[in-house]
Chain A
């Protein structure tokens, strides 16, 4: 048995009285041939890697591989030291953790692709900051990662999480939906709210293109991660007040698939339009280190 739509997920939960976590484990035991304990071990290792990426990134202050960033997380952390955010500590953590992870990614540090490397800061920033601020027990931490993964899996059945397939909506948008749903689980909301949070997150990001400057996972990717993490938090806020997505979750994913198909290939990870072809980006591309780098390597 497999679950490929949110409707199937909702029905299964209501018919079997199983929790979303139980279902996630059962599906995964089935498809991966691993038992529950082995899966928990992998999830634990994954969460540990997420934390390590955050803490390495928080204290790092060095150029990224494409030389277009690497100092923003440090700026944000230093700023908060003297100017605490009016939105509180959780908000600060989400932003800093997302920046830390995606800068670490661009520095060739170790991260968890969740669902992709370009969107690697979104799920961890939400999960880890919630774990810390709300003292979530280990068992529930692991479960929340499975919930995030299950949401991502259902989306991926329709839209492959790759900028080249459907633009950034499929990468950062999917990550944001995963984070929103996982957060809803962490705060004990029911399946309707979990799914609704995911649907709202996707719905509001439809059409987001993938137009990285010079083809690197840096501009706009690094700063987009904290944006889309906060985006997940907004989705949860609305969903938990029982504000519903008028368009059901599965249809929102259909819309994402169609939007992705209609999106010009130039805006799908090809760096042939959008931010990648702005005046500044073109100048950067011409004056960049690439040619020098090539010739040095060829020496």
Chain B
């Protein structure tokens, strides 16, 4: 059972009306912004199921856009986000779909060069569960190192070794392989903040197809 803190209970300070449909949406937007990690010019957003059905009334669409633009869950601008100059510079389409195979509160972000899926699992807690073809789990509570590497023996051990040398504890590791010997995604949640030099070292050591360091979300 995960530890529950008092601060989890008496937070967040947020714009209403729903922790999962509004604050969760903003947090998803913020996390996707961290993952995409470059200026977002154009994006297609697909809201599913409950996110689609009750999204407009809960400001889910507004929350997602506000998060993508870097606004926090307690920013009162969320209500009017569609009318801001920031939003007008962003080219976005929002679509609504029903799908039995998707979580009730899920959303896809389709960029020209990347697809990210996420869901809001209740109480403002969220999870990014897919980047491109790889399933993973990023909840915004930890700094996360995401890598796509060639599926080769000892790769994980070498990465863990570098992290360990930097005195950082690994909270969890999530791996997903496309096929044997093909690309593997690896999602490493960390208790601390990893130095840039360590990331460079990993790059040199294992030559990943993709490496990205995703900061946890603020409270």
Q: Is A294 an interface residue (CB 8 A)?
A: yes
The CA of A114 and the CA of B6, in the complex, are separated in Å by 10
Write out the residue numbers on chain A whose beta carbons fall within 8 Å of the beta carbon of B74.
Answer: 49, 110
Find out whether the CB atom of B122 lies under 8 angstroms from the CB atom of A152. Answer: no
Q: Is B23 an interface residue (CB 8 A)?
A: yes
The CA of A66 and the CA of B163, in the complex, are separated in Å by 48
Q: Which of A6-14, A92-100, A159-167, A249-257 contacts B (4 or more CB under 8 A)?
A: A159-167
Bitwise interface map of A from 139 to 167 toward B, beta carbon under 8 Å scored 1, else 0: 00000011011101100110011101100
Find out whether the CB atom of B6 lies under 8 angstroms from the CB atom of A28. Answer: yes
Find out whether the CB atom of A111 lies under 8 angstroms from the CB atom of B6. Answer: no
Q: Is B210 an interface residue (CB 8 A)?
A: no
Q: Which of B51-59, B142-150, B165-173, B182-190 contacts A (4 or more CB under 8 A)?
A: B51-59
Q: Which of B12-20, B36-44, B109-117, B194-202 contacts A (4 or more CB under 8 A)?
A: B12-20
Q: Is B179 an interface residue (CB 8 A)?
A: no
The CA of A152 and the CA of B6, in the complex, are separated in Å by 7
Write out the residue numbers on chain A whose beta carbons fall within 8 Å of the beta carbon of B57.
Answer: 65-66, 214-216, 290
| Contact A112 B11, CB 8 Å, known A117-B23, A149-B6, A214-B54 | yes
Find out whether the CB atom of B54 lies under 8 angstroms from the CB atom of A152. Answer: no
CB-nearest residue of chain B to A64:
B17
Find out whether the CB atom of B5 lies under 8 angstroms from the CB atom of A293. Answer: no
Find out whether the CB atom of A65 lies under 8 angstroms from the CB atom of B17. Answer: yes
Query: Among A148, A153, A217, which residue has its beta carbon within 8 angstroms of that of B8?
Result: A153
Write out the residue numbers on chain A whose beta carbons fall within 8 Å of the beta carbon of B94.
Answer: 297
Q: Is A107 an interface residue (CB 8 A)?
A: yes
Query: Among B9, B16, B17, B78, which residue has its beta carbon within 8 angstroms of that of A114?
Result: B9
Write out the residue numbers on chain B whose beta carbons fall within 8 Å of the beta carbon of A108.
Answer: 15-17, 22, 59, 62, 76, 78-79
> Which interface residue of B7, B17, B219 has the most chain A CB atoms within 10 A?
B17
Q: Is B157 an interface residue (CB 8 A)?
A: no
Q: Which residues, 79 to 95 on B, are CB-close (under 8 Å) to A?
A: 79, 94
Write out the residue numbers on chain A whose beta carbons fall within 8 Å of the beta carbon of B79.
Answer: 107-109
Query: Among A104, A120, A156, A294, which residue has its beta carbon within 8 angstroms of that of B4?
Result: A156
Query: Among A107, A156, A290, A297, which residue has its beta carbon within 8 angstroms of that of B9?
Result: A156
Find out whether the CB atom of B9 lies under 8 angstroms from the CB atom of A149. Answer: yes
Write out the residue numbers on chain A whose beta carbons fall within 8 Å of the beta carbon of B155.
Answer: none
Find out whether the CB atom of B123 lies under 8 angstroms from the CB atom of A160. Answer: yes
| Contact A65 B58, CB 8 Å, known A113-B11, A218-B17 | yes
The CA of A203 and the CA of B140, in the complex, are separated in Å by 35
Q: Is B61 an interface residue (CB 8 A)?
A: yes
Bitwise interface map of A from 155 to 188 toward B, beta carbon under 8 Å scored 1, else 0: 0110011101100000000000010000000000
Find out whether the CB atom of A113 lies under 8 angstroms from the CB atom of B7. Answer: no
Q: Is B50 an interface residue (CB 8 A)?
A: yes
Write out the residue numbers on chain B whose beta carbons fall within 8 Å of the beta carbon of A110.
Answer: 13-16, 74, 76
CB-nearest residue of chain A to B16:
A105
Query: Among A115, A117, A217, A290, which residue has its beta carbon within 8 angstroms of that of B10?
Result: A115
Write out the residue numbers on chain A whose beta carbons fall within 8 Å of the beta carbon of B14.
Answer: 110-113, 117
B143 to A: closest C-beta gap in Å: 14
B67 to A: closest C-beta gap in Å: 14
CB-nearest residue of chain B to A162:
B122
Write out the residue numbers on chain B whose beta carbons fall within 8 Å of the beta carbon of A297.
Answer: 56, 61, 94
Write out the residue numbers on chain A whose beta carbons fall within 8 Å of the beta carbon of B22.
Answer: 108, 117
CB-nearest residue of chain A to B74:
A110
The CA of A216 and the CA of B12, in the complex, are separated in Å by 19
Q: Is A16 an interface residue (CB 8 A)?
A: no
Find out whether the CB atom of A217 lies under 8 angstroms from the CB atom of B16. Answer: yes
Q: Is A74 an interface residue (CB 8 A)?
A: no
Write out the residue numbers on chain A whose beta carbons fall within 8 Å of the beta carbon of B59.
Answer: 65, 108
Write out the residue numbers on chain A whose beta carbons fall within 8 Å of the beta carbon of B20.
Answer: 162, 164
Write out the residue numbers on chain A whose beta carbons fall within 8 Å of the beta carbon of B13.
Answer: 45-46, 49, 110-112
Measured CB to CB, the residues of A under 8 A from B are 2, 24, 27-28, 31-32, 39, 42-43, 45-46, 49, 64-66, 104-118, 120, 123, 145-146, 148-150, 152-153, 156-157, 160-162, 164-165, 178, 214-218, 271, 290, 293-294, 297
Question: Can you sample 15 A-B contacts with CB below 8 Å?
Answer: A31-B3, A32-B7, A49-B13, A49-B74, A106-B16, A108-B78, A117-B16, A117-B19, A145-B10, A152-B10, A153-B8, A157-B1, A215-B50, A215-B53, A217-B18
7 A-B pairs with the lowest CB-CB distances in the bound complex, closest first = A105-B16, A149-B6, A215-B54, A152-B9, A217-B17, A108-B79, A66-B57
Known: A108-B15, A216-B17. 17 other contacts (CB 8 A): A42-B7, A43-B10, A46-B10, A110-B13, A110-B16, A111-B15, A113-B11, A113-B12, A113-B23, A113-B124, A114-B11, A115-B9, A116-B123, A146-B6, A161-B123, A214-B54, A216-B54
